Amino acid sequence: MAYVEIKLDKTRNLKYGMRALDRVEKKLKRKISQIDMNNLSMEETATFIWAGLVHEDKELTVEKVMDLVDEYSNLNEVSLKLVEAMNLAFNNGEQPKN
């Protein structure tokens, strides 16, 4: 499974497999296929980031993710990393072709 590095308080690794996507579904109470990835709320964005990072930090919360983004990064950079990691997850770990 491929990881995407994201720099927040430290270098962390976004990873989206079945477990992470299941966490998103449970937290948002919707199937992944029902989520409009082009129109995420701030809470939904933070939930996706949390789900991709919690594998290496079990104490992480959605609220803590929001604080980390505000303090160490910005929404644009983090969103780009999220898209990159999701693309890797759904393209068998390979970068999508143009």
Q: What is the per-residue pLDDT across 7-31, written as a single tens digit (0 to 9) for each? A: 999 999 999 999 999 999 999 999 9
Looking at residue 90, its pLDDT comes to 87
Helices (H), the chain: 18-28, 42-53, 62-72, 75-90
Return d(Cα 33, Cα 91) in angstroms, integer: 16
How high does pLDDT run on average in the chain?
93
Q: What is the pLDDT of residues 66-89, one digit of tens each?
A: 999 999 999 999 999 999 999 998
State the pLDDT confidence band at 95, using cuts at 50, 70 and 90. Answer: low
Q: What is the pTM of this model?
A: 0.89
Query: Residue 32 contacts by C-beta under 8 Å, 6 or more apart in sequence?
Result: 21, 24, 25
Looking at residue 22, its pLDDT comes to 97
Every domain of the chain and the residues it spans: 4-37+47-90
